[in-house]
A and B are shown apart, each in its own frame.
Chain A
């Protein structure tokens, strides 16, 4: 198939679907109809200068969700806006802020974005809108890149301060007396990309916001909070957990959209016995090429920098052979200089650049206009992220195409065979636990430093005197003669708390590539064992780093930037001991339990796995001491389901079922599968029955296990569907895990066990549908 001449997106897609080798891999093809805009006029109270400014930019009315959001904010309500990419979310918070500034120039607003780049983009956009409205607005980013002389000007005169949670935590809150103008006058706090604040990071950010609002109260301000989030299962709940308030949910999308094809592509199984699959990278290229040749603007997302480079090289070579537009294809990733990135963004907007291959650096809000085709080489890790990437293609008038190409990981496979997750409301939820003991105590220290606690003062759910008394025993805090709790140490607590890790003791990751080594991150000890052991490939900001040396005693990992086509996976040998049961309930074939566990972990070797195919290309030993982790876990016992099983079979079945459950859990709770540890015991010493444990790899946990306990039935059913839908013969890395013994049919064993535990299949509880999921998927193939 050669499509050199320009053609419409639909024509190219039609031709591609006629190609048998490509269409055979399409697991699902959905056509989302075009949607008309639902608009509302500008509210009467909106300052005429702002209306003129908007009209000057070609905006003559608001979309329904924008109007609803700004009316709610105008009425003093907190809101959380949940609408897809490119639906004009920015206006939902920019307009109330501009209005507040138009009414009272002494008003202030604080914008929080998860990354520096995003903050810098947004401040530019906001400033343009302000200029168009002929309002004098001092909007500035305050982050690590802000030069010192400008900082003090922003502190005293910045009306709109754009920053990120880390900066707020370490630089703004501890120095609030220098920011008193902001704290006294802040009227709106904007938290964009809300869904990124989950897990440990989210738990920290929730506490940073508690500290922020506490200081606002001290200075007599009561700001409105405007949150914006990608589509997730529980936006209102997440916003409530993060902010401690109950914002109003606005999810009625009024933005128009053109017709959109969504294709889920599963590269065919090359060898049903081993489960070897076609590479997602190659398939993504094959789908991208014809669109590029036909002159359709196309974006391809790779999960890592190296994936981007592989795809980019492949596309350029293919286009050279056939004299295609290869110079108009560009790469885009975190390491590029801001000017390069701006040039690429501009090129995409004005059509100069035809194709771009990107890491998730382009996933969040950066404005590149709308393209024709978006192709994802691998599931980005969350359905929200998938839509943000797919949403890069989506013209208002014309047809667009989004293609998700699955890799061989169980999580990818699960998602690709559940098109309803993607198309009909997401089941994934963002979880965090602001009251994680480690996180909470860390922020109580910071909060005391910032402002003494009154006796009986509430921080989050309850009064904290008892916890402060505990910190006082360490000597950092004391209760003075007026009963208040004061910081009484020369330490600067915010500098000791990293928002990325829960435990106080961390391994610092030092990049030795530049002339001046620089710290690029921190990981807690438990994760460090598997992530930054010597010779590991550590992925940070889509950049690969090779760990040259892990100095365990010094808690330092020395890394170097590399581009390799493999990643490493460390095997953790874990012994697990339940400590306490928080909740327990009978389930089909056994029990489901939520409780506290002690995990002892020893990491002894790692494997090198090839990108895309997950093929094993080498291994090495790891010599690190054993670690203990006290955390929360969810476990299920199978005393009923496993009656009459052979011990060996049961062992294999538990491992296979556990792997599948782990993958499903990762999808439902938007986490990396590595954040959930898996242990299976044929005869648990605690329950004296076969048990599968999923524990949180974070000290104290962040609330994941509680949710897993609640969603037990979905997990079992999902795991069953995942294994059933897999095209392999008898178990593969995409379902039950790598095969250990070629003689054993892990797939059949795991399925048998899961069937006995599946509530939907249990005749005693339900008789509605048996393998409904699997037949439906077979039909779509």
Chain B
């Protein structure tokens, strides 16, 4: 088409004319039908014609894949045992879940007893989409749960958009189990990334041969639409079939290895630590603690565990790539097609080196820290303190963090200012040593500085104004006529407590406590000290 031709078209358009007569489309329909038939034939599928259009249905032979749903339901975030499960994975013409992206292949799978059945629906032409969507809606049980991999973020919103495009409401279902968050939580520590292919190789020991790369898939389908030649789609259909089956395999793997606490001892400690977080996320702290304790036992086993912990490869985390600038729709942002590997780190890649990050690699001391946190959440503060002191034995940044936690517990729970100061000082020494080694932790340093200053000020105040404190305490206790036990000389009490806590560092667990007098002294001191730094204004902006 020449430029002049385009100008003429524009001129016609400006005058509101339809320039060339619209063709009747018979040829287009003929070609489209032929392509659909070829597609069905080459996939050994069935071309289903409905009043809304046609779609190709492919069903491969089913496979035996037993799963104990009752056992699985015991894990956090899992569907109830009675809900039918529908594994689902789509292949699309792009990665944006925007209006112009099409799901041209929807693979689904479900259990019938211990048999796993799989069906794939393919779109022969744009115009046939309502037929495919209607069939999919028919296959999703209203009480069923979807099982996907990143389906919450991608597959399902995309399908919802497709239904909306045709002004249909998306099919109802009872729940959605996205396995990606589970994998991130439990297994990510031993995988270089969280792609489904990596899950297959690391967790399931599978390796795909001659698999089609995700980034090629849109082109292959668009090519089919243009030429009507289905050969290039065969690999895509196979790829999707394997993806759906892997969803089922992954669920079975979780069910067998993790749903039964008898089997926990065989699992890598890092998995259990992640699982503990999943339990804790649902408020099941006791189970989380049990999980962590099994994990700790695992790390202390002389023999390596059955599944060795794969040392994660350190992948550079992209933080300052100018290509990553701007919002997600920006033209300058590279789309994430999941392949070809090695070009750049995927957002799923995580650094293994920074132990302060929540998503750092699992080590014994980090698991200890998790356990201490869980104990504190369960209200077992003394045990938590002991766990943290144990964790502090490992040295380094984590030890500093542990001492800070000890200081917090002592200051706020045990009202033991002296002990808190000792712990905070220990943390400060460790941070300082890290600084000397060239690993500066400015935020930690600043926080510690604050904490130390506050503790010293409070201690000094308690010592400098014992009489006033005492008077006020007595006044208040008489006014309230409550039975606060009075003890003469609050300052000596706090000094004794400080001394006691110093000794406690050497022998954790055995500490003389004089809680009554301490609490009184501290609460009186709290009264005179300025109000703790609140965060009342922090949420203002968002609340609006």
A residues apposed to B, CB below 8 Å: 144, 147, 150, 170-171, 174-178, 180, 218-219, 435, 437, 440, 448-452, 455-456, 458, 460-467, 470, 473, 475, 478-484, 486-496, 508, 510, 515-519
Contacts and interface: CB of A to CB of B under 8 A. Distances in A.
A483 B99 contact: no
Contact of A492 (B12, B33, B329, B542): B329
21 contacts: A144-B327, A171-B327, A175-B97, A175-B98, A219-B167, A435-B10, A449-B98, A456-B18, A463-B18, A464-B13, A481-B32, A482-B25, A483-B28, A488-B126, A489-B93, A490-B218, A492-B329, A495-B331, A508-B332, A517-B322, A519-B332
B12 A470 contact: no
B98 A437 contact: no
B160 interface: yes
User: What 5 pairs between A and B have smallest CB-CB spacing?
Assistant: A449-B100, A481-B32, A482-B127, A462-B16, A177-B161
B330 interface: yes
A443 to B, nearest CB: 13
A480 B325 contact: no
Contact of A466 (B9, B16, B157, B222): B9
Nearest to B332: A519
B539 interface: no
A488 B99 contact: no
A458 B16 CA distance: 8
Interface string B1-30: 100001101101111111110100100110
B9 A475 contact: no
A490 B93 contact: yes
Contacts of B6: 437, 467, 470
B542 A150 contact: yes
B100 A450 contact: yes
A615 to B, nearest CB: 38
A464 B225 CA distance: 22
B219 interface: yes
A490 B219 contact: yes
Interface string B303-330: 0000000000000000010100111011
B454 interface: no
B165 interface: yes
Contacts of B17: 462-463
Interface string B328-358: 0111100000000000000000000000000
Given A449-B99, A456-B22, A481 B28 contact: yes
Contact of A484 (B16, B95, B127): B127
Contacts of A496: 331
B9 A448 contact: no
A457 to B, nearest CB: 10
A484 B29 CA distance: 12
Contact of A488 (B7, B22, B93): B93
Contacts of A484: 126-127
Nearest to A215: B99
A762 B288 CA distance: 97
Contact of A478 (B16, B162, B225): B225
B226 interface: yes
Contacts of B331: 495-496
Contact of B96 (A440, A467, A492, A517): A492
A481 B225 contact: no
B13 A435 contact: yes
A760 B7 CA distance: 38
A176 B161 CA distance: 8
A182 to B, nearest CB: 12
B20 A466 contact: yes
Given A486-B126, A517-B322, 8 more contacts: A440-B10, A452-B126, A465-B20, A466-B13, A466-B20, A481-B31, A492-B98, A495-B331
Contacts, number: 154
B45 interface: no
B265 to A, nearest CB: 40
Contacts of B225: 478, 488
B100 A448 contact: yes
A475 B218 CA distance: 13
Contacts of B22: 455-456, 465, 483
A488 B16 CA distance: 26
Nearest to A433: B14
A180 B167 CA distance: 10
Contacts of B25: 479, 481-483
Task: Give the one of A465, A481, A494, A496 with max B CB within 10 A.
Answer: A481
B433 interface: no
Nearest to A449: B100
Given A171-B329, A177-B161, A479-B28, A461 B14 contact: yes
B125 interface: yes
A437 B1 CA distance: 15
B77 interface: no
Contacts of B66: none
A151 to B, nearest CB: 11
A456 B322 CA distance: 44
Interface string B370-414: 000000000000000000000000000000000000000000000
Contacts of A517: 322, 325
A465 B18 contact: yes
B1 A480 contact: no
A187 B220 CA distance: 42
B179 to A, nearest CB: 22
A171 B96 CA distance: 11
Contacts of A147: 542
A176 B97 CA distance: 10
Contacts of A470: 1, 6, 9
A466 B164 contact: no
A450 B93 contact: no
A778 B6 CA distance: 53
A462 B17 CA distance: 6
B94 interface: yes
B350 to A, nearest CB: 20
Contact of A480 (B32, B161, B332): B32
A469 to B, nearest CB: 8
A174 B98 contact: yes
A519 B93 CA distance: 29
Contact of A177 (B32, B125, B160, B326): B160
Contacts of A463: 13, 16-18
Contacts of A170: 329
B12 A466 contact: yes
Nearest to A448: B100
A183 to B, nearest CB: 10
A495 B329 contact: yes
Contact of A489 (B20, B28, B222): B222
B28 A467 contact: no
Given A462-B18, A484-B126, A473 B1 contact: yes
A462 B13 contact: yes
A178 B98 CA distance: 8
B10 A437 contact: yes
B105 to A, nearest CB: 14
Contacts of B18: 456, 462-463, 465-466
A177 B165 contact: yes
A492 B332 CA distance: 12
B12 to A, nearest CB: 6
Given A450-B99, A455-B22, A461 B15 contact: yes
Contacts of A464: 13
A493 B96 CA distance: 11
Interface string B195-235: 00000000000000000000000110010011000000000
A466 B99 contact: no
A338 to B, nearest CB: 11
In the complex, which of the residues B9, B12, B167 has the most CB atoms of chain A within 10 Å of its own CB atom?
A: B9
Contact of A490 (B29, B94, B162, B327): B94
A481 B125 contact: yes
Nearest to B3: A630
Contacts of A451: 99, 165
A515 B325 CA distance: 12
Contacts of A493: 100
